[in-house]
């Protein structure tokens, strides 16, 4: 018999006729919303980098068919076994058929996906089926923000994703821009990512010069108004930012440094250098910073060369789909430090070329080690899916969302975008790649249904929330201006008092006279013009959306730096520090208010979840296989000891054992003709007891 793929081949002419019939009925594809020329100036645009748009952007991409590709593939997948059952793919199943390489010599191309709309993006996957009456074709539609068909080139992809979403200015403004390339092996991830990396290398220094010049201009204006000079004096626009690069490869669970020179390293059977493992763990501050070689680069050429060298170090191996398949996740990080604002968190560009997701039949050519890696890669892609899905949920829903980023090394590396406590704004772009062939449609459907749910709609507008002094998100303009006035007054008085103390100490030493201490009750002429900083209409919510660097720059532009009299303490760097403190205090207030609200929702949800199981005896805790007993049952009170979050954390800590233990208990109970539900509950209870012993509910080590 033939495999389903081979059957698709046999029926290719019929399938193509069905596809033509469908295509003839379709309206012309929706084009992109704007021409790429509109994006040309975004890198130097003053508004670029201000927070706007969505946190998560999803794009689909398919490539053109490659010469001889289909032919080679069917040499390997043609088999002698009997025909498959209707609608049943071969994914994950056993392939027992003997491979008959000579059976098929030439396969013509039939498209498996069609981009029916570029923006918003829609891909339609054409899924072949087989009935007694002949082959069938069903059309499944998937939505993203953008869809790139096989004729779109890399430059257009770059313009419409990285440039249109201001990802470079975001990194220059202390934010985090992350790009993830996902898809089946051989679908074009590396092709896209390498191009994006080189385009970014080309443009980031141009953008840095523009932004640097703008920042220096504000600094210079401030300095002109002050008699005190700053160390920033010698900086040139191109020197405002410092860029450093790390490049890590994650192969299964093993991470290595791609910037480690290859010379002298032992080489494996596939010709790949064996690099030393780099541990990935959370340090005591909660940061995940693998010890990698970090290279400072100061020109586009240097950055480009570094990327090229590191990419050449990436491991590849031959798969049925791709002669140089990357077996690993590759994470390129470009860190950006703003020398004018050393207190601000460095911006980051995280460019991740994910390992190809593989189906069983595609991994048949691998050895045991490679099969294990493939399984591990698929596990990490699943964890990534959970995290991105949770993040997408967080972007649109108010309330508690758990992001399980600790569950896997890959997601740990992406902590900056998944940590809900992070103060850095971030944007994540996911480009899901699919093969153009109808024989790959099963896999394309997997890829598209993996990525499509990440697409978010803009948050629903809500009415104003009632005023809460502890939650800046509820303040109106007057309340915001009052808070800013009070915050700057407090810091200005402290600064003046401190300066007086220092003068008094110096005078005491020199035996000279000192002016009387400042009157802390007297009205104060604020150095920062709050009226200008917070014009009518602006509220704390707006300030909460500014990057620290931007808040500091705005404050500096609204400061009276007379350089003499009562303002003589207030040099540009003093004002910058004050602004950073005030901006930080506001962010902290917003963050704590959010956390408080999340906890309150979490508490109410726990009660709700445990009480809401009236109709069915059990319900499932999201993200786990935990089925909770219904309210009123004796077990209910036993299980209410733990929160949903604890169930999730316990499930993640135990990893696959969690499911294995539950399954084993169910199988044993079934064999012994006992209640499987009871057995599952007992196992669940035992595991939770082990994870959170009754004494103090502390997680087990
Ligand atoms: N848009 C495209 N236009 C032309 N050729 C492409 C395009 N995308 C990919 N290719 C070609 O397809 C082949 C496979 O692409 P690539 O190596 O990028 O796949 P991949 O998804 O990274 O695979 P793997 O996961 O196995 O590493 C390469 O020869 C590449 O040059």
Question: Atom 23, ligand 1: which residue's CA is nearest?
Answer: 186
Taking the centre of ligand 1 as the mean of its atom positions, its distance from the CA of residue 6, in whole angstroms, is 23
Bond into 120 cis (ω within 30): yes
Let me know: does 5 contact 99? Beta carbons within 8 Å. Answer: no
pLDDT mean over 327-338? 91
What are the angstrom distances between the C-alpha of 394 and each of 135, 145, 385, 602? Answer: 43, 18, 14, 14
Residue list, ligand 1 pocket, CB within 6 Å: 63-64, 66, 183, 185-191, 319, 322, 325-326, 356, 433
Residue 386 Cα to ligand 1 middle (Å):
26
Q: What is the pLDDT of residue 556?
A: 87
Of 28-42, 456-470, 656-670, which gets the smallest average pLDDT?
456-470
Q: Determine the Cα–Cα distance for residues 254 and 311; give it in Å rounded to an integer.
A: 17
Which of 68, 322, 433 for a ligand 1 pocket mutation test, highest count of atoms within 8 Å of Cβ? Answer: 322
**What tens digit of pLDDT does each residue of 100-154 get?**
444 444 556 788 999 999 999 999 999 998 888 888 999 999 999 999 999 999 9
CA 217, 219, 225, 226 dihedral sign is negative
Q: Give me the mean pLDDT over the 245-255 stretch.
A: 90
Q: How far apart are CA 528 and CA 488, in angstroms?
A: 7
Please name the residues in contact with 630: beta carbons below 8 A apart, sequence gap of 6 or more: 613, 614, 616, 617, 618, 619, 636
| CA 35–ligand 1 middle distance (angstroms) | 26
Q: How far does residue 388's CA lie from ligand 1's centre (Å)?
A: 24
For residues 583 and 546, the answer to whether their CB atoms sit within 8 Å is yes
CB 77 within 8 A of CB 100: no
Tell me yes or no: is domain 4-88+99-222+240-454 CATH 3.40.850.10: yes
Ligand 1 atom closest to 152 (CA): 1
40-49, 309-318, 329-338, 661-670: segment of lowest average pLDDT = 40-49
**Which mutation among 60, 61, 62, 63 tests ligand 1's pocket best, with the greatest number of atoms within 8 A of CB?**
63
pLDDT tens-digit map of 576-624: 889 989 988 898 888 888 777 766 655 544 443 433 333 334 455 544 4
> Is residue 49 scored above 50 in pLDDT?
no
Q: Whose CA is nearest to atom 10 of ligand 1?
A: 188
What's the confidence (pLDDT) of residue 93?
A: 36
Q: Is 189 annotated as a binding residue?
A: yes
Ligand 1 centroid from CA 132, angstroms: 37
Q: What is the pLDDT of residues 302-324, one digit of tens each?
A: 999 999 998 888 765 555 445 55
Ligand 1 centre and the CA of 207: distance in Å?
29
For the residues 177-187, what does the mean pLDDT come to? Answer: 92
Q: Which of 13-27, 308-322, 463-477 has the highest mean pLDDT?
A: 13-27
Q: What is the mean pLDDT of the chain?
A: 77
Residue 383, pLDDT above cutoff 70: yes
Reported in sequence order, the residue ranges of 25-69 that DSSP labels E, i.e. its strands, are 56-62
- Does the annotation place 632 within a ligand binding site? no
pLDDT attached to residue 695: 54
- Residues 541-576 pLDDT 10s: 878 777 777 888 889 888 887 554 555 677 888 888
Span(s) in the chain for CATH 3.40.850.10 = 4-88+99-222+240-454
Min mean pLDDT across 71-80, 272-281, 291-300 is at 71-80
Residue 233 has pLDDT above 60, yes or no: no
Closest CA to ligand 1's atom 14 = 186
Q: What atom in ligand 1 is closest to the CA of residue 183?
A: 21
pLDDT of 186 reads 86
Query: In the prediction, which pLDDT does 356 show?
Result: 85
């Amino acid at each position: 018999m033939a495999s389903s793929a081979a059957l698709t081949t046999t029926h290719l002419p019929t399938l193509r006729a069905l596809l033509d019939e469908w295509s003839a009925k379709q309206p012309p594809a929706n084009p992109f919303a704007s021409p790429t020329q509109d994006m040309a100036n975004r890198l130097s645009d003053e508004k670029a980098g201000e927070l706007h748009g969505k946190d998560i952007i999803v794009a689909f991409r398919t490539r053109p068919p490659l010469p001889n590709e289909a032919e080679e593939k069917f040499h390997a997948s043609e088999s002698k076994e009997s025909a498959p059952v209707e609608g049943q793919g071969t994914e994950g199943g056993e392939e027992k058929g003997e491979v008959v390489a000579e059976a098929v010599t030439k396969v013509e191309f039939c498209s498996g996906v069609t981009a029916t709309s570029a923006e918003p993006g829609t891909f339609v996957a054409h899924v072949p089926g087989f009935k007694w009456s002949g082959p069938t074709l069903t059309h499944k539609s998937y939505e993203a923000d953008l869809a790139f068909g096989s004729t779109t080139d890399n430059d257009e992809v770059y313009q419409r994703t990285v440039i249109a979403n201001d990802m470079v200015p975001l990194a220059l403004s202390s934010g985090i821009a992350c790009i993830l390339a996902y898809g089946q092996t051989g679908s074009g991830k590396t092709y896209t990512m390498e191009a994006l990396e080189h385009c970014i290398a080309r443009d980031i220094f141009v953008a840095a010069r523009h932004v640097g010049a703008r920042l220096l201009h504000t600094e210079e204006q401030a300095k002109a108004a002050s008699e005190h000079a700053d160390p920033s004096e010698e900086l040139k626009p191109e020197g405002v930012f410092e860029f450093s690069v790390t490049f890590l490869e994650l192969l299964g669970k093993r991470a290595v440094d791609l910037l480690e020179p290859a010379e002298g390293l032992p080489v494996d059977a596939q010709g790949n250098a064996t690099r030393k493992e780099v541990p990935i763990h959370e340090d005591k501050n909660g940061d995940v910073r693998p010890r990698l070689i970090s290279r400072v680069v100061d020109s586009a050429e240097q950055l480009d060369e570094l990327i090229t060298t590191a990419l050449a170090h990436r491991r590849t191996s031959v798969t049925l789909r791709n002669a140089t398949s990357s077996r690993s996740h590759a994470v390129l990080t470009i860190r950006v430090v703003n020398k004018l604002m050393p207190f601000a968190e460095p911006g980051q560009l995280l460019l991740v070329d994910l390992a190809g997701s593989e189906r069983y039949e595609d991994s048949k050519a691998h050895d045991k080690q490679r099969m294990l890696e493939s399984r591990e890669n698929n596990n990490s892609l699943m964890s990534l899916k959970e995290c991105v899905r949770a993040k997408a949920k967080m972007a649109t829903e108010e309330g508690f969302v758990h992001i399980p980023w600790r569950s896997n090394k890959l997601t740990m590396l992406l902590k900056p975008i998944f940590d809900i406590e992070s103060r850095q704004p971030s944007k994540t772009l996911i480009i899901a790649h699919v093969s153009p062939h109808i024989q790959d449609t099963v896999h394309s459907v997997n890829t598209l249904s993996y990525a499509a749910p990440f697409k978010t709609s803009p948050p629903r507008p809500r009415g104003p929330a009632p005023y809460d002094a502890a939650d800046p998100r509820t303040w109106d303009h007057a309340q915001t201006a009052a808070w800013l006035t009070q915050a700057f007054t407090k810091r200005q008085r402290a600064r003046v008092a401190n300066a007086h103390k220092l003068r008094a100490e110096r005078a005491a030493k020199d035996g000279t006279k000192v002016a009387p201490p400042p009157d802390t009750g007297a009205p104060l002429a604020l150095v920062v013009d709050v009226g200008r900083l917070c014009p009518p209409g602006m509220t704390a919510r707006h300030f909460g959306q500014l990057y620290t660097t931007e808040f500091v720059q705005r404050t500096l532009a609204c400061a009276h730096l007379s350089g003499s009299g009562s303002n003589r303490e207030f040099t540009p760097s003093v004002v910058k520090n004050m602004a950073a403190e005030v901006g930080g205090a506001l962010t902290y207030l917003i963050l704590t208010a959010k956390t408080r609200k999340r906890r309150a929702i979490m508490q109410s949800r726990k009660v709700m979840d445990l009480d809401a199981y009236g109709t069915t005896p059990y319900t499932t805790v999201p993200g786990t296989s935990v089925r909770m007993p219904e309210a009123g049952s004796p077990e209910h009170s036993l299980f209410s000891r733990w929160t949903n979050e604890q169930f999730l954390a316990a499930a993640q800590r135990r990893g696959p054992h969690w499911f294995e233990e539950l399954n084993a208990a169910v199988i044993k109970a079934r064999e012994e003709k006992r209640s499987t539900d009871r057995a599952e509950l007992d196992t669940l209870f035992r595991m939770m007891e082990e994870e959170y012993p009754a004494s103090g509910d502390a997680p087990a080590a």
